Amino acid sequence: MIAGRQWGLVTLGLTLTLGVAIWGEMILRLKFQDACTRTDALLGLGLQPGASCQRQSRDFKVTYQINSLGLRNKEIGLEKKGERRILMLGDSFTEGTGVKQEETFSAILAKEMGIEVINAGISGYSTLHEYLWLKERGFKLQPDLVVLNINETDLVEAAKYHQIWEKHDFGNLGPELNKSQIDRVLLLNLIRNQLASLRQQGGKPKTTVFIASAGTDEEAVKQYWQLVRSDIERINFFARGKNVPLLVAWQPHGHQVSQAAWSEGRLTHGFMLGRMYPTEMPTLLNNLAQEVGFKFVDLSPAFKATDAARLYFPYDGHWTAEGHRLVAETLKEKVYDFLF
């Protein structure tokens, strides 16, 4: 028989575990399930064609409108009608979390350059998702340039989804993903991240989301980078086979470019105000670009050269409309060199 004190500890443990699981499930549903989200046979998750929904947080309240191709973009045809086309790949920063569709950097570039810029960014996507989406769907849109947008969370996302693909032996990176398996991985990852981010280790942030800038697990960063690298190499090889150039853009988070940006949200991950937390990712990407032959642009200098606190939502951490405008201005010259 379990003693009273021991039983109390067991009960407390079970209660906390159940509470964390329920809390994590709520986060999962809020983050990944609404009228704009669907189960995707190829990639596990995606945007629902033709859907409309409202997404909000402490920082914003925005209406989403998804086109018939399942993208947060105006309606477009598969075939070009003489105009130039840029295809933007990425995650929530590219999709435009927190801003109106017309405020995303893709929409701003399209308007100011007078060309088509297709926003194929989808929240939660990894570089592996982006390779598969480009291979199976992206080139049907006949782009003249592919821009792969990358930020630090891609390291963890790549590790997570490479594990799913390999564990279930989907073969040839073209799986019919098991949605329930993905949901469980996402749920466990969210719970793990939230718990880990509240702790400190040796004076350094303890977070599994921003593993590179936290500086807590250099070996994991090396392993995760190899996965991201392999995805980029696949994308570059595939694009070159289609005679379409690739531009890779590094998207910095607030704590990497400013002592004050992302002022509230950074604290939940153990990052302090008054400090910047650099990452070697831009250097790794630049070296890879020179090695395998694609173009690279680091957006960090542009963010550091201004008041970056205005460019990020304080809690959520994604770019504000002003941040998207800066990205568009920074990319414009690079894109122009490719197309004109």
User: Token digits for 277?
Assistant: 């937390």
Top-confidence residue, 340 or 23 = 340
- Of the pLDDT bands very low, low, confident and very high (cuts 50, 70, 90), residue 167 is low
Yes or no: say if 276 and 259 are a contact pair by the CB < 8 Å rule: yes
Task: Tell me: pLDDT of 14 over 70.
Answer: no
> What local confidence, expressed as pLDDT, does residue 282 receive?
98
Amino acid letter at 53? C
Distance between CA atoms of 199 and 269, rounded to whole angstroms?
Answer: 8
Amino acid letter at 114? G
Distance between CA atoms of 49 and 122, rounded to whole angstroms?
Answer: 13
> What local confidence, expressed as pLDDT, does residue 1 receive?
41
Distances (CA, A) of 301 to 54, 316, 326: 33, 22, 11
| Greatest pairwise CA separation for the chain in angstroms | 79
Top-confidence residue, 193 or 165 = 165
Question: How would you class 233 by CB atoms within 10 Å of its CB: exposed for 0-12, middle for 13-18, buried for 19 or more?
Answer: middle
Helix axes of 105-113 and 321-339: crossing angle, nearest 10 degrees: 50
Q: What is the DSSP string of 6-56?
A: HHHHHHHHHHHHHHHHHHHHHHHHHHH-STTEE--TTTS-EEPTT-EEEEE
pLDDT in tens, 30-88: 444 689 999 888 888 899 999 999 999 999 999 999 999 999 999 998 888 778 999 99
* Cβ-Cβ contacts under 8 Å for 228 (sequence gap 6 or more): 127, 150, 154, 155, 158
* Average pLDDT score, the chain: 83
Yes or no: say if 251 and 151 are a contact pair by the CB < 8 Å rule: yes
Yes or no: say if 257 and 273 are a contact pair by the CB < 8 Å rule: no
pLDDT in tens, 231-279: 999 999 999 999 999 999 999 999 999 999 999 999 989 999 999 999 9
* Cβ-Cβ contacts under 8 Å for 313 (sequence gap 6 or more): 57, 59, 60, 98, 262, 265, 319, 320
Nearest CA-CA partner of 165 in 137, 212, 126, 134: 126
Yes or no: say if 98 and 57 are a contact pair by the CB < 8 Å rule: yes
* Cβ-Cβ contacts under 8 Å for 85 (sequence gap 6 or more): 115, 116, 117, 118, 141, 142, 143, 144, 145
DSSP summary character for residue 78: S
Distances (CA, A) of 71 to 66, 178, 191, 217, 270: 5, 22, 28, 35, 34
Distance between CA atoms of 157 and 159, rounded to whole angstroms?
Answer: 5
Distance between CA atoms of 18 and 15, rounded to whole angstroms?
Answer: 5
Cut 0.85: pTM above it:
no
DSSP summary character for residue 289: H
